[in-house]
Structure 1
Amino acid sequence: MDGHEFERFIGTLFSKMGYSTEVTKGSGDQGVDVIAEKDGRKFGIQAKCYSSAVTNKAIQEVAAGISHYRLDKGIVITNNYFTESARELAASNGIVLWDRTILKEKIDELF
């Protein structure tokens, strides 16, 4: 699965969870790949299909995207794991992280 397919898959996953979703344009997305809305709350999702651990850059991107799109919360989802530094930055910025363990649980639950 390439990056764009992963973004679309994450959109589908959130749709199955009852969110209305929009996959943003591929480049110049301002750090948000999917916008998911439910119960009047909007979430910006950065989807990272990586072969190595996700770094601070993804956290920084979604943090910027929250302001740009006027979102309530940011989430970074990966098929891999996060570096310790990325986890620290996410915690200090209120960004939710889903690593491969959480992602697998959601897939098992919904598909």
Structure 2
Amino acid sequence: MVDLDPIEFERLVRQLFEAMGLKAWSTQASRDDGVDGVAVNEDPIMGGVCVIQAKRYRNVVSTEAVRALAGVMGQMKASRGVLVTTSWFGKASHDFAAEHGRIQLIEGTNLKHMLLEFLGLDVVIGELKRAPRRL
């Protein structure tokens, strides 16, 4: 999956959100303010706008990417933000997302399981520079 074209990867992530029951669309490739997609949950109580950032990485995703998503969420008045990657996030990113409270981080292993569950796709993530360690 790491070898997918960036547009194909964004399309796959959008299809995943649609399969999860959300209305989703991709943003324009340029001038997207770091947003690759938007999903809307129409539930009147738990719903809202969710901005999506998709990263096809072989290395750890920087904390700056997570902070940038928080900024875009504020600009777009989004209720949620999701950063999806083929790789993983470091502790500082997980801590920031937890403190923020409205950011969801989806790492490669979770993405693989979600694609199988919701789209029936058994994908190969690809070779990462370093496997994530869990304590």
Amino acid paired to 2:32:
D
Gaps of 5+ in 1: none
Residues of 2 paired with 1:63 and 1:31: CA distance? 11
C-alpha deviation, 1:3, in angstroms? 2.1
CA RMSD of aligned residues (A): 1.3
Amino acid paired to 2:61:
V
Aligned to 2:35: 32
The structure 1 residue matched to 2:86, chosen from 79, 82, 85, is 79
C-alpha deviation, 1:43, in angstroms? 0.8
Deviant stretches of 4+, over 3 Å: none
Gaps of 5+ in 2: 121-135
Q: Which structure's CA Rg is the greater one?
A: 2
Structure number having the greater helix percentage: 1
The structure 2 residue matched to 1:91, chosen from 86, 90, 98, is 98
Residues matched between the structures, number: 111
Residues of 2 paired with 1:36 and 1:52: CA distance? 26
Give secondary structure in 2 for the equivalent of 1:106: helix
C-alpha deviation, 1:28, in angstroms? 2.2
Give secondary structure in 2 for the equivalent of 1:105: helix
- Residues 79-109 of structure 1, C-alpha deviations (whole Å, 9 max, x = no match): 1111222212222222111101211111110
Amino acid paired to 1:14:
F
Quick check: 1:21–1:34 contact (8 Å CA) kept in 2? yes
- Residues 36-61 of structure 1, C-alpha deviations (whole Å, 9 max, x = no match): 01124111111111111111122122
Quick check: 1:32–1:44 contact (8 Å CA) kept in 2? yes
Identity of aligned residues (%): 34
Amino acid paired to 2:10:
E
Residues of 1 paired with 2:71 and 2:14: CA distance? 20
Aligned to 1:23: 26
